[in-house]
Structures are given as C-alpha cells and as structure tokens.
Structure 1
Amino acid sequence: SIPKQPGVLGIDVGTSGTKMAFYDFEGNEIISTREEYPTYHPYSGWIEQSPEDWWKAVIRGLDTFWKRNLNPQQIVAIGLSGQMENCLLLDHSGNPLHRVLLYSDSRATQEANLIHRRVGKKRILQIFGNQIDHATTVAKLLWIKNHHPEWYHLAKTVVSGAKDFIIFRLTKHHATDPTNASTTGAMNILSRRWEKSVLEDIGLSSSLFPPITPATEQVGVVSQDASMKTGINAGCPVFCGLGDAGASQVGSGVVGSDRSHCYLGTTGWVAVVKSEYSPPQSEGLFVLSGPDLHQYLYIAPLLNVGRAYEWILGVIIGEKKRKYHEIEDLLSTIPCGSHGLFFLPYLVGERCPYRDPSATGVFFGLTDQTTDLDMIRATLEGVTFGIRQAFEATINLTKIKEIVVTGGGSQSKVWSQMIADICGSEVTVPTRSSLGPCFGAAFCALVGMKIKKDFSDIKPLLAQGRQFHPHEKNRKIYQSFFQFYAKLYPTLKPLFREKKIPMESSDL
C-alpha cells in the first residue's frame, strides 16, 4: 500500500513518453508511471507530435496513481520538465493550431540560413551564445510564418518546451524557464530576456514568447477545469521547473561547477556545468542558462542515442520494446570492437560532434562472418564513440574525473561499462538514474515550497548507485578503434551531401 504522507509530483514530458513520479519530502519515490505516445513523420526530415497526446498521457498517468490509491490531497506541489527546442503555436484560447515541430525536425534549414544572413553569425553568437540552425525554435517559427501564415496570424503564444504546454493546461498561465529559453534562439544568454531587436530583424513578434520564469518560482495553481480532468486538487501550486537538460542535471546531483553528466534517452547529451560564461568553441556545442542564476550548462546534444539502440533491436529482433537486460548477457560475449564492425549512428542526421541534417547511419566493415550481436554491439559502440567526441567538444577528457550517467539507457550495465572504457573515466549511475529529469522537476517544487533551501540540498538525497571503472585492456583496444571511427564521418561527408537516396522505390 502507498504511504499516506504528503509529497510533490514530478512530470517529465519526454520524446517517447511522459514519466511521472510522486516523492516524499526526502526525495523517496513513492510511485511512478510512464505513458507513451506516437511520433509522426509525414515527410522526410519532418518530426512531429500531438500536444494533445502529451496532455492525455498526463491524465492517464494520474489515473494510474489514483487507481493505486494515491490520495490527491497528498500532492502539495507540482514541478515539471520536458523536451526543449520545439515549436508549437497556441491561439488566443490556448488551443494548438498544429502538431508540434519537434527539436529533431529539420525542415527549417533555409530559414536558419536566412536568419544568419539578416543578423550575422557573429551577432547571433554574441547575444545568444549559440548559433541558430534548423532545429532552433525561431527557425521553425519562421518556417511556419512562411508556409502557414494562417497559423502565425492566429497565434497568441509560441511554446518551445513540452512542459510549458502542460503548465498552461494545468494553470491557464504561460511561462517558460531560462534553460529551455536558451534553446529558442530568442533569449539573451546573459540578461535572460527575450532579444526583441533580433526578433524584429527577422520578422517575428516578441509578444509571442511567454514570460521567462525561474525554475523554483510558482507559475500558478491547478485550475478548477484541470482539476476535473486530472483529479488533482484545484489550487495545488505548480512550479515552472526546467527543460529536460537542466532537470536531468539537478536530478542526477550534478549541481557544482565542472561536474560532467551524460543522459541516455531516445536522444541524449553530454554536459559540463560551469560558473563562468564563455562562448562555445566547438561545432555542435551549446551553452544554456543553468538552474541557478550564475550557472551555465555547456551541452552537446546527440540525436541518436536510445533511438539507435531501439532501431537496431527492432530491425534484428523485431521487438522495439525489448528490454536492455534481456540481451545484456549475450552482448557481453562479443569482444570490444564487435569483430571490426563500425556504426555511424546518424539515423536522423546529427548535431554534435557535427551539425549535419544530411548525414545518415552507416555500417562499415560488414563481412559474411558478421552476426546480429556484432551489429547490436557495434551500434552501442558507435553511439558511445559519439559520446566521447561530444565530451571532447565540451572539456578536455583528462579533466573528467567522473561521468554521471542517467536516462533509460543507464540501466544497461554493458553500456555503462562501455562508456567508462571508451571515455577512460569513472562512471556513476545514481539510484534514480532512469527518472533523473522527473526527480529534478519535483525538486524544483521542493525548493519553491521552501521545503528544501536550494539545489545543493539534493546531494544528501541521492544514494551512491552503481559505479563502473575503466578496464585498462578495453580502454587501449577502444582507443585504436576510436581513432579509426573518427575518420569515417569526414570521409563520408561529401557523399552525404551529394547523394539523396529516394525514400520510395520506383515503379517497375
């Protein structure tokens, strides 16, 4: 039975599903659930979701909680997290005007190039800290204005963070947090305000963007209408929370400077926390405003992490929902390097270490001796080589003493050990690794309610978890394989640009 003490609800609106968990005031997870929803691919490079699917997932998850005898009165506050860098327009009644253009959607390449010409790359970098590309919210917003002016002219608000749509549905108030706003190409990285001059230069209205609100600030309370739909008590405080990168950072306890973090979800990232700002120096590296005022999150986003693993399992085994642990023992029988098989994991293009929406996945080294397990392990190794490249873009690898790994992929012992061996660093998987952003979101509510003083109070709540040490023999083997892997993309780059493979077979 569920204990009857009060606590806080964390909601994380992810790419493949929404995770929800109820925690007591000491951060102990009392109950959790995960609700999935589809992603739509109407054309090549177009990647969309329905915001109504996000909302229905929240309602289903709460219904599960009530059926398992959680009392709505136990929830004293709500904190939220979710995927960032999306683009969704809401009308004056708060109704969605279209499906969400996800962060991985690549249709707005021409608009990104247009913004560069009008504003200039140097000015963009000075103001936003990041370059604008096809994934940036303002590029997608400009695409909508150019291709669907009827949506643009009916719009009252642009939503870039998935959690911000749920906040509106719960409270009828619009808000976003500084971490999420950092990904839009519209917020000044130093002032944490919308940059009206640039938006005007590219023909976009700054009035569409919602108030930027600190993560631990209350946005509103659950409305009577939302209470009837969800079962949560009307008047329950709702806190702004953080975009998933910031929430994952908090939820994994990576709250001090120069701490390193790796998130393994459908997509993923590597991140390093710094207390001083400097513009990113590497291609594909981004800087985001951190949860605390004078904190910056240097992050290298990866589009193909769990996505690549789920894909190869679906192709070879035919069950995309196959659990990690079911093939752990089998993968352990395959030697490092997968018998000379390499995999470039760019199934939907990539953003780091190379920004290239035209890149594709490639197996290199297939022979008549290659097995299905070789291909599965090579896929994980290819993703992990990319993780190492991403870390090298953010910080000198020799300075990394520990990598905190979270997300669903962290449940794989084989993968966690592989990260330790390939990166040559200690790897720690916290006890709440699979619910990192969800716990981070809930902790924002705990701080907002003054139950906890600040984000540093999260450290005592996190048990040590599992640790993985690099094996010297494996590290040396992977070092030589990594050097070869690093040559593959530069060699194939001109072919990615030159060859557009048709998606449909021709009629005979």
Structure 2
Amino acid sequence: MQLLLGIDMGTGSTKGVLVDTSGAVLASETIPHSMDLPRPGWAEVDAEAVWWHEVCAISRALMAQMPSGSVLGAMCVSGVGPCLVLCDEDLRPLRPAILYGVDTRATAEIDSLTAEFGEQNIMDQAGTLLSSQAVGPKLEWVRRHEPEVFERARGWYGSNSYIAAKLTGEYVMDHHTASQCDPMYVTRDFDWNHQWAHRLCGHLPLPRLVWPSEVVGTVSAVAAEATGVPAGTPLAAGAVDAYSEAFSVGVRSPGDRMLMYGSTMFLVQVIDEYYSDPALWVTAGVDRGTLALAAGTSTAGSLIGWLQTVTGGASFDELMAEAQQVPPGSEGLLVLPYLAGERTPVFDPRARGVVAGLTLRHGRGHLFRAAYEGISFGIRQILERFDDAHVDARTVAVGGGLRSPIWAQAVSDITGRSQLVPEQAIGASYGDALLAGIGAGLVPPETDWARIAREITPDPGNRRLYDELYEVWRELYPATRDQVHRLTAMDPS
C-alpha cells in the first residue's frame, strides 16, 4: 500500500498526516508552537529550531505508525507565508524568519520601493501594491538594517522552500509563493521580474520556479537520518499553507472560494482570467497555470484569544455561553479588530483596535460577540471587492474558528452568503498529502478528496440590522484613522 505524508507549518502549530491514496487518514501528529514578537510590528520564527525540528519530529512519529507492508510514496510540506528565511551556504538561517503580513517592520521600505519603481508600474507588473505581505520590502529591510546578515546570505527562502532545501538540497520556490514576493514576480507571465528581483536580491540567486505539485527532488540520506523518511522519497514543492488548505477542500476551479477561520482570516478565490485590484492580492494558484485572488486580515482568532486572556482567562465554552446570550448587533457595540494593524483591504500597519458604543451595561459577552461581528464586517468588506472580479463563487469554510457557535453564523448573516463546511477539515497538511500524490503520479491530477457535510445559511431576520451596523462600522476606520495614527506614533517602543 502506497502512503502519502503531508506536513504543514502553521502560525500556531506544525501538523502532519499520513494518508492513503483514497484520502483516508491513517495517522496524524501536531506540535504546538508560537511566533516571537520581539518588538512592536515584528513577527518571527526560528526556522531551524521550530520549523525544521518539528518537521523532523512529526516525520519520525508518523513513520513509526506506518502499517506493515506499506511504503511511503511521496511527501509534501507547506508553511506560513510569504516569509523570508536567509541562509548561508550550509543552509543555516542567519536570523529568525521574518513572517508574512503580520510583520510590519518594513513600512519605510514599502514607501521607498513604491517611490522607486512607481505605484502604477508595480500594479502593472505585479498586479498588487506593496504591503506588509510582500517579501521584497522585507529583503530591503534586511539589506538596510542588517547589512552583515544580507552579505553573508547565499540563498533566500519561504517556509516550505527552506524545508525543501533541507530535505533535498534543491533551491526552488513554488510559483504561488513567488507571486507573493512582490514586486519581484510578474503574475500575469508566471515568471520572475528579473530586473526588479536582481535589484532587491543583489548577489542572492533567484530560486528555480516550480508548481506546488511538482516533484522537486528526493529526500537525501542526511535528511532521511534526521526525519526517518526513507532516502529517495519524492518531495512535492508545496505552497503557502492557506493555499494548500484551499486545495484540500476542493477549491480548484474558477469561482471556488475558501474562507479560513484561524488566527487570522484568509480568503482564496480561484479566478478564470487575470484580474487585479489594489485592495487585494492577485497570485498564482496551486494547479499549474491557474490564478487566484486572495485577502487576509491581521487578526481574527488571535483577537479572541487576546480577549480571553485580558478578561480573566475563562474557558472558551463559558465565554461563548455568555456571548450567545447577547443579541445580534451586540446592543450597539462595534469593534474595529485592527490590534495588529490591518492587511486587506485597508493595508494600514499603523491601524489599531477601536471599540465604539461602549456603555456600563455592556459586559464580557458583548465584547466577545462584538469582536466576532467586527471580524465578520471586515470579511463583508473584502467580499465586496471580490465581487468586482465577476466570478460567481461558492464559499467553503474551514479552520478551527468553526467551533465557535457564533462566528461562522455571524459571517453568513453579515455578508448574506452561505458557507459550505467540508466533512474532512483537517487543514493544509491534508492538501499537502494530495499534492504529493499528484506530483508522484500516485493519484490522478483531478483527484478531489473533499466531501461537504453541511451548509451555514444567512438568517434573513438579521439582515436589516447588520446592514445598518455595517454602514457605521465602515465609517469608523476613516473617521478615527488620523487620531489612531497619532497614538501609534506615541508608542515609545
């Protein structure tokens, strides 16, 4: 029996699954971790001590659970992204990995590169304006602020391409991740923007571009000893974790959309032709030659976790019970969930959280419901931009946030859209296993393991209230932006 190994390095944990070629999960492992926040606006991970160590540990644990008579046919690893890992010639990371859009340190570099290349030129070439999500400004930040690190570097990687290099020795990057390395990739052409990429990378070579299901090499003898994975096992390239998760639930055709409830909210929608919007990201997709629109918030589940901590650390069930006693609309309480700045569609790293309408009669349950509703208003704002792509969409909802009895229903009620919930919502590692199987030729390329279990539909009785509250919510950010920016500038750190 041929088995497939999928591993995903997420924001809060690394997860792995052992799957057969029918999609049945035989074993799974999870190791929790956290990102480092050494300074305001910084978000980092020790790539070797966390990502590589956990990939090795999960691989060994899953290989020990291989049924008798089975063989590992292929593996694939995805991870958070886009990130920046700078390594020396021996693949030793020279500094902690700089994470995706939650790391906002490169604000000055975003401004200077936009001035250098031209905003309209960047839109024409990359299809997306520079933001904290882009890798190009992160490279520029290291060049400016840590020149000794930049000069010692011999290669630059995303989370999954770093692991691919550790496993196989190959220097590659999947097209999807590369398409988020703005402004260094021409999404319309599925190729590097060589002039701009060489300007930003300097002496660093550009990785070889591959598609996420493409086998990039085989596990080396050294990596086999570290991971327990047999030497010679084919490795598929993988992608950013949100895209692997979308792939795992059948989001592959134009109009398919994934809404991921996690530490942040992330949306991926496959489109039928090239389309760009300065408030969204246009990217290469997972399947060869495909395109997608994407969007992401800076906080979501992380905001709920923060509230849980600062309000006394009550159990999740207790807090949800309190929030369920609060009627829709939270009795006039609104939250801007920008505690870590915001990504799409406002792209403002200096944005901060705002609570409006607070009175003495509001309690903890009101805050929790209002936080869920604030996140959901942000999703409505994003979906209205997606609508401009003129692709009819079905929404598949995934992620740990679905266990909240409030959150997903609030999204449907506020957006007026139904959501399909899959039977197997294992996550990106499941999509990685499928990518491995496709890449190694063990399953047909069109294989879809997803099965829909239920549908979340909007409650029409809440529509009028939420429409009115949404108009107020949309006005809050522009009305408070200047004052919030002044407060942000006062932060002594």
In the superposition, relative to structure 1, how do residues 190 and 366 fare at CA in structure 2: closer, same or farther (>3 Å)?
same
The structural deviation recorded for 1:326 is 6.0
How many angstroms apart in 2 are the aligned matches of 1:139 and 1:210?
Answer: 18
SS of the equivalent of 1:417 reads helix
Offset from partner CA, 1:235-263 (integer Å, 9 cap, x none): 11111022223212211211111222211
How many angstroms apart in 2 are the aligned matches of 1:19 and 1:164?
Answer: 17
SS of the equivalent of 1:495 reads helix
Match of 1:457 among 438, 447, 463: 447
How many angstroms apart in 2 are the aligned matches of 1:424 and 1:72?
Answer: 51
Aligned to 2:34: 38
Tell whether 2:269 aligns with 1:288: no
Tell whether 2:440 aligns with 1:445: no
Q: Is the 8 A contact 1:36 1:57 kept in 2?
A: no
In the superposition, relative to structure 1, how do residues 231 and 135 fare at CA in structure 2: closer, same or farther (>3 Å)?
same
Q: Is the 8 A contact 1:401 1:426 kept in 2?
A: no
The structural deviation recorded for 1:312 is 1.2
SS of the equivalent of 1:32 reads strand
How many angstroms apart in 2 are the aligned matches of 1:173 and 1:78?
Answer: 15
Match of 2:86 among 76, 86, 89: 89
Aligned to 1:151: 149
Aligned to 1:483: 471
Aligned to 1:107: 105
How many angstroms apart in 2 are the aligned matches of 1:210 and 1:493?
Answer: 40
Match of 1:213 among 210, 215, 218: 210
How many angstroms apart in 2 are the aligned matches of 1:206 and 1:245?
Answer: 31
Match of 1:267 among 252, 264, 267: 264
Q: Is the 8 A contact 2:369 2:406 kept in 1?
A: no
Aligned to 2:250: 253
The structural deviation recorded for 1:286 is 0.6
Offset from partner CA, 1:49-103 (integer Å, 9 cap, x none): 1102111222332344356566795422101211112112111111100001111
Letter in 2 for 1:51: A
Letter in 1 for 2:468: S
Alignment of structure 1 residues 182-221 onto 2, 5 Å = 182-185=179-182, 186-200=184-198, 202-205=199-202, 207-221=204-218
How many angstroms apart in 1 are the aligned matches of 2:466 and 2:93?
Answer: 48
Offset from partner CA, 1:119-158 (integer Å, 9 cap, x none): 1111111111111124311111111111111111111111
Letter in 2 for 1:192: F
Letter in 1 for 2:220: S
How many angstroms apart in 2 are the aligned matches of 1:215 and 1:198?
Answer: 24
The structural deviation recorded for 1:425 is 1.0
In the superposition, relative to structure 1, how do residues 199 and 399 fare at CA in structure 2: closer, same or farther (>3 Å)?
closer
Letter in 2 for 1:336: P
Offset from partner CA, 1:366-407 (integer Å, 9 cap, x none): 111111111111111111111111111211599756321112
How many angstroms apart in 2 are the aligned matches of 1:502 and 1:354?
Answer: 22
SS of the equivalent of 1:339 reads coil
Aligned to 1:375: 367
How many angstroms apart in 1 are the aligned matches of 2:243 and 2:133?
Answer: 19
How many angstroms apart in 1 are the aligned matches of 2:389 and 2:119?
Answer: 29
Q: Is the 8 A contact 2:166 2:223 kept in 1?
A: yes
Residue correspondences, number: 490
The structural deviation recorded for 1:478 is 1.5
How many angstroms apart in 1 are the aligned matches of 2:489 and 2:116?
Answer: 32
Q: Which ranges of structure 1 fall in alignment gaps of 5 or more residues?
A: none
Q: Is the 8 A contact 1:391 1:397 kept in 2?
A: no
How many angstroms apart in 2 are the aligned matches of 1:72 and 1:223?
Answer: 23
How many angstroms apart in 1 are the aligned matches of 2:319 and 2:390?
Answer: 32
Tell whether 2:310 aligns with 1:315: yes
Q: Which ranges of structure 2 fall in alignment gaps of 5 or more residues?
A: none
How many angstroms apart in 2 are the aligned matches of 1:151 and 1:267?
Answer: 30
How many angstroms apart in 1 are the aligned matches of 2:331 and 2:406?
Answer: 17
The structural deviation recorded for 1:207 is 4.1
Query: Which has the higher mean CA deviation after the structures are superposed, 150-159 or 494-503?
Result: 494-503
Letter in 1 for 2:293: Y
Q: Is the 8 A contact 2:3 2:70 kept in 1?
A: no
Offset from partner CA, 1:252-309 (integer Å, 9 cap, x none): 21111122221112122223211200222x42x0100012233211111211121112
Q: Is the 8 A contact 1:264 1:405 kept in 2?
A: yes
In the superposition, relative to structure 1, how do residues 72 and 198 fare at CA in structure 2: closer, same or farther (>3 Å)?
farther
Aligned to 2:72: 75
The structural deviation recorded for 1:25 is 0.6
Q: Is the 8 A contact 2:320 2:365 kept in 1?
A: no
Tell whether 2:485 aligns with 1:497: yes
| TM norm structure 2 | 0.94
Aligned to 1:278: 275
In the superposition, relative to structure 1, how do residues 64 and 332 fare at CA in structure 2: closer, same or farther (>3 Å)?
farther
SS of the equivalent of 1:146 reads helix
Letter in 2 for 1:39: M
Offset from partner CA, 1:469-492 (integer Å, 9 cap, x none): 111102222121111111110101
Q: Is the 8 A contact 2:212 2:435 kept in 1?
A: yes
SS of the equivalent of 1:247 reads helix
Alignment of structure 1 residues 307-456 onto 2, 5 Å = 307-318=302-313, 327-395=319-387, 402-433=394-425, 435-454=426-445, 456=446
Letter in 1 for 2:291: Y
Over the matched positions of the two proteins, sequence identity in percent amounts to 29
The structural deviation recorded for 1:203 is 4.8
How many angstroms apart in 2 are the aligned matches of 1:73 and 1:173?
Answer: 27
How many angstroms apart in 2 are the aligned matches of 1:462 and 1:45?
Answer: 37
Offset from partner CA, 1:424-449 (integer Å, 9 cap, x none): 1111111222x232222111111112
SS of the equivalent of 1:42 reads coil
How many angstroms apart in 2 are the aligned matches of 1:31 and 1:417?
Answer: 31
SS of the equivalent of 1:241 reads coil
Q: Is the 8 A contact 2:275 2:389 kept in 1?
A: no
How many angstroms apart in 2 are the aligned matches of 1:234 and 1:375?
Answer: 53
The structural deviation recorded for 1:310 is 1.5
